Homo-oligomer: A and B are copies of this chain.
Amino acid sequence: MNEINAVLESSHAAFQQYKKVSGADKSVFLQAIASEIEALGQPLIATAMEETNLPEARLVGERGRTCNQLRQFAALVKEGSWVDARIDTAIPDRAPLPKPDIRKMMVPLGPVVVFGASNFPFAYSTAGVDTCSALAAGCSVVLKAHPAHPKTSAMVAHAIEMAVEKTGMPKDVFIHVQDSSFEAGKALVQHPLTKAVGFTGSFSGGKALYDYATQRPEPIPVFAEMGSINPVFILPEAMMVRGDKIAEMYAASITQGVGQFCTNPGLLLSVENPALKNFATQLAERMKAIGPGTMLHSGIANSFVKNRAKALEQKGVVLLAESVEKAKENQAASTLATVKASEFIHNHQLVEEVFGPYSLLVTASTIGELKAAAAKIPGQLTATIIGEEADLIAFADFIDLVIEKAGRVIINGVPTGVEVCPSMHHGGPFPATTDSRFTSVGIDAIKRFVRPVSFQNFPQQLLPAELKDNNPLGIWRLVNNEFKK
């Protein structure tokens, strides 16, 4: 592990320089990364297509999102108010004791280790949100490439290195590690100079990193976005009024991107009524018609087959539909199963994620049973309620309970499709993530990699620009309890 040690030493040295770089200069750097990624052109898309089996349009779109994210963080740090500056000026003649001058702002934590994700080779990998928000915060980044797309990762890493060079950033502010061994990941998390970890992937992977990090002599925060089955509650009135439309919408959502999204709806819950049977038939017919899709890599395809089989063999679970077309190698068949809520409530296995185009329809015989089933669902990234106005009023208390389970609650929509905007929270109570208080999508992701520091009685010339009296950066600050620029 000498190599890992050298990596962290270099990253730490770069951090000592980088933490002093201004928001304006970090902004130029992040924009340059976006431009360098775009400059890679079609060869980057072709390489990613080859390594991930994802279609061209999806990858072009994801590249756009990745560069958009970089530019959003660039704008955020250029504007500068994100540091949450607060100023309380001195009151020297206050009785019984004088009040000192105290000012506070966010400072970066230090070197951050980021693990690339397999299902988003651009947006959650090498130059994805974790890297991008850590760099925006002023942290150096050590990126462990995902072994499923090493060439793609190397190309993006090179783009970042070009941006580092062109904008004069400290050389090792970003270091790309191409060691896919379990030991390397562990050593990166356990290294004393590592100050935080970002991860997107499986529950077992994320939980292992969390355990390493919290059991270090000096524990560090881990932001692991892990499994989620994203329950969808279809309320009775909506089921009767527009069951067909809901079936159409959900057949598409369950199978979108071969179900390889963390927000994939893996669980549909409803109450038995005449319309439910029709809905199940409609959804089943649509799922049969949707062909199998090629998954990201053979490991994920094999896991899908294994996890689907395990789900289908649970007591009371019935296979309702699968793609009529037979799945070829590395392909996953679109799958719909069903189970009664009375069984679901007693079987913890049924809330385990089956990553891929799979969903389980849970049918409750009463509203009480639907609520009992909801209570058994652990923390989630999202939860969705499908309801008519009458449903939503009748189920207001239920919606209240659902909010306790999830990081994002959607009414009359699908959980897939995560908007990148300030009001997006992509996170949720454990086991969806290891820290429900932070998001891994949107500008607030920067908050994961900073901590506040108070500066007491500092002379003006020693204060960071964000805290100087004359507000040279023109940022929003809370000054003596008044929010102003």
A contact set with B: CB distance below 8 Å: 20, 86-88, 97, 99-100, 102-104, 107, 109-110, 210, 214-215, 218-221, 378-379, 389, 392-393, 396, 399-400, 403-404, 406-413, 417, 419, 421-425, 427, 429-431, 434-437, 439, 444, 447, 450-459, 461-462, 476, 478, 481, 483
Chain B residues with Cβ below 8 Å from A431 are 218
Cβ contact of A419, chosen from B100, B219, B389, B459, cutoff 8 A:
B100
Chain B residues with Cβ below 8 Å from A419 are 88, 99-100, 102
Q: A107-B403, A400-B20, A452-B425 are in contact. Are A411 and B458 (CB under 8 A)?
A: yes
Contact between B459 and A102, CB atoms less than 8 A apart: no
* Chain multiplicity (copies): 2
Chain B residues with Cβ below 8 Å from A476 are 483
Q: A97-B417, A221-B437, A483-B476 are in contact. Are A88 and B455 (CB under 8 A)?
A: no
Cβ contact of A455, chosen from B97, B409, B483, cutoff 8 A:
B409
Closest to A389 in B: B459
Q: A410-B457, A451-B436, A454-B408 are in contact. Are A102 and B424 (CB under 8 A)?
A: yes
Contact between A412 and B457, CB atoms less than 8 A apart: yes
- Select the residue from A20, A421, A483 with max chain B CB neighbours within 10 A: A421
Contact between B221 and A210, CB atoms less than 8 A apart: no
Chain B residues with Cβ below 8 Å from A210 are 214, 219
Contact between B454 and A409, CB atoms less than 8 A apart: yes
Q: Give Cα distance in the complex from A159 to B46, angstroms.
A: 69
Contact between B392 and A462, CB atoms less than 8 A apart: yes
Q: Smallest distance from the beta carbon of A453 to chain B beta carbons, Å?
A: 6
Q: A20-B400, A110-B404 are in contact. Are A422 and B478 (CB under 8 A)?
A: yes
Contact between A411 and B20, CB atoms less than 8 A apart: no
- Select the residue from A378, A412, A450 with max chain B CB neighbours within 10 A: A412
